[in-house]
Amino acid sequence: MTESSGGASVLNSRVSSLNSPKMRVEGATRTFSDGAVVAFENLDLEVRPNETICIVGPSGCGKTTLLRCLGGLLQPSEGRVLLDGQPVTQPSPHVAMVFQHFGLFPWKTVYDNAAYGLKLRGLSRETWEIRLRPYLDLVGLSGFDQMYPYQLSGGMQQRAGLVRALALNPDVLLMDEPFGALDAQTRELLQEELLRILEQEQKTMVFITHSIDEAIVLGDRIAVLSARPGHIREILEVGLPRPRNIQAARATDRFSELRSHIWEELRPEAAAAVG
């Protein structure tokens, strides 16, 4: 909220969009229950344009709260969050979220759920079809789009959640442990589908997960968060080539190296969080 003159901030964002971060968290602290619970404290983070940054950390380290602040659903108690150099005070039209609980409306069909964001923008049904159909085909939802969420498996429901976000053609995808509620096989299928989609589209993605494997397979960088009050312990470059094949990526030395390194980082934190 420190930006004052409109002209200057437009100029700032022009200049900044060349090579500065897509999103930026500056000295952010978020507390709950009148300060009794500190989700994260004095946290700094940069999200580069078109990168996938995965955030891993022990349970209860404030990952999800951080993502809500990035999405403008929560405000940090101190510090600020910037998108393209502008403070985030409410959800932005250039950002879309995918939720761990899928967040589908049980009274809408899969199709209408996927079209939700488009409908809110007042776009016509013809436009819905043009925007949705390729994604529905891509994730294999096309035969199911007139069914209701309760009639589908969790994997199919989350595919609908993914299409709902992608259909808005956002610059930034915020993923809140989107595959955390799925079984291992389904999870891997969805990781593959997500990788395929991101190969075709330039998107910045912030991906919260508690799975180290998932973070390595999907991420360009990995931010390791400490237990509460959360702060960034370390940021790692994944350095695996793209386009990425999950099986091949798993077989690399780099994968095992990162995996054991992150686990060593997290082990005391996880123990602290549990104990």
Q: Measure the CA–CA gap between 240 and 191, rounded to whole angstroms.
A: 15
Q: Name the minimum Å distance from CB 178 to another protein.
A: 13
Count of chain residues binding another protein (CB under 8 A): 35
Of the two residues 110 and 236, which places its CB atom closer to another protein in the complex? 110
Minimum distance between the CB of residue 151 and another protein, rounded to whole angstroms? 5
154 to 173: interface string for another protein, x by CB under 8 A: -xx-------x---x-----
Interface residue with another protein, options 91, 239, 241, 268 (CB under 8 A): 91
105 lines the binding site for another protein (CB under 8 A): yes
**Rounded to the nearest whole angstrom, what is the least distance from the CB of residue 186 to another protein in the complex?**
5
Alpha carbons within 13 angstroms on the beta-carbon side of residue 77 total 15
Query: Would you mind telling me the total number of residues written for the chain in this entry?
Result: 275
One-character DSSP codes across 188-228? HHHHHHHHHHHHHS--EEEEEES-HHHHHHH-SEEEEEPSS
List binders of another protein among 110-139 (CB under 8 A): 116-117, 119-120
- Of 41-49, 149-157, 205-213, 244-252, which segment contacts another protein by CB under 8 A? 149-157
The answer to whether residue 1 forms part of the interface with another protein (CB under 8 A) is no
The binder of another protein chosen from 101, 125, 196, 267 (CB under 8 A): 101
Q: What does the per-residue mask of binding to another protein show for 172-201, with x meaning CB under 8 A?
A: -------------xx--x------------
Q: Please, what is the minimum distance in Å from the beta carbon of residue 45 to another protein?
A: 20
Q: Taking CB under 8 A as the rule, which mask of x and - marks residues 4-23 in contact with another protein?
A: --------------------
CB 234, min distance to another protein, A: 29
Least distance in angstroms from the C-beta of 16 to another protein = 24
Residues lying near another protein in the complex (CB under 8 A) are found at 71, 73, 90-91, 93, 96-97, 99, 101, 103, 105-107, 116-117, 119-120, 140, 142-144, 147-153, 155-156, 164, 168, 185-186, 189
